[in-house]
Structure 1
């Protein structure tokens, strides 16, 4: 059995900033992201960077700002931000991830692309459609048109090729958090699993973030399982994950996003925050 998911384009722009102020190149990347079509969200990761999130929320055309404010992101190291980007993509199922073609973007996106097993597209100067990009090669002496069939497109944007998005006029909402947020919160799942006599698995994003060990990964690059009951907690429904559990007899999905693709394949769905739903379920299940 194969599940086919149709999804609209949605782009995550990774904001570059100083923790106090947004780097102008991000505004050019936002303009480029709009040429793909669909919603454009921005990820602001740093330390004490709420002012930047507020600044981004006012940019015209940004539909959502995702704020990750933590000491772990001090210095904006690709090693620390990569797991965050992976978890964010897993949760929201973005079709495109954009960043400016700076040292920051060029250091981060190839690492994310390697984890997602896709080819990054660098230094674009034009966008023909959601799959086709124009970039320079040979130190700018030639122009190349690239068509990508990867399920997720990772792109760095040359700022001089796109106008900056207006810094005023927007009113995007700001959200904190992602999935289970940290490894300690997996205790919620262990408690429920103990009562059900079940095993616990994890998404690739949770493994890459270091929340749980590699042998717990379910999906295309992990284990293939087909239990009588599969409860997908905080799982967006990325195709890579579905490949590892699509043959389960009954699929139950718990996700606070009613548009999460996992609901398209679930037999039963609950639209609720997992931090509320899972403890309530655990309480209702009788002790063996």
Structure 2
């Protein structure tokens, strides 16, 4: 059963600023984790998440198939085949992963399906409440830009950043639990765009169109770290929640958005133990106390100007 399998390599990482310790027998695991979480430093003093990742030679030299994920109560499994899988105990904030050398050789597959997904599953069910939203900030006023996939969160958040706003994240915001200040943390190191975004931002011209681990949506990934013209931050305190709508808009306007619809939308991505789910629901209720809004727009200039007014005047 390999219960005493030795994993002599150990290193601490800080995804989203939370301590995470990886134990493994393979240097490539640590190198891949360092790429995933480069730039992050310790922001929160929480007990470390622990992940043990064992690597062995497998029966096949081919990269394994896409894993299948299942969740029941406090346990999560992510299984590609009999030799490549993870098991996560959400209650204990612990996971173990078994991989073959062929799986590890494909760094994109390794990071996307096992290293990053395992860490984020624990973070999103323990210390944070995951919100499907971009986040930008202007003069201390944080705004979440919410919407379904394809709503334009990445494009609008990046357009705000080009206009002088501070960029926090383009798609995944994490509301830190057990706080009253609506603090959100995100990955400000990169922005991801649909290929059609080259029509909006000239700096994307010529960038490679990729699919994460060969299964994700085609996208262009832009590294923001070397871009001195873009102000970034890992955290922001949220003042407003705005659902964006750019489809079939006849009139550009900022209007009230039904709180019950916003609450329902945000709760759909949550999964955890019953106690944590109750806490996360309370965090969402607190986030929406100021009243969610809907931004209906056709062009970026108008949308950015209207969001600027919101940040300055509160409406």
- Normalised to the residue count of structure 1, the TM-score between the two structures is 0.25
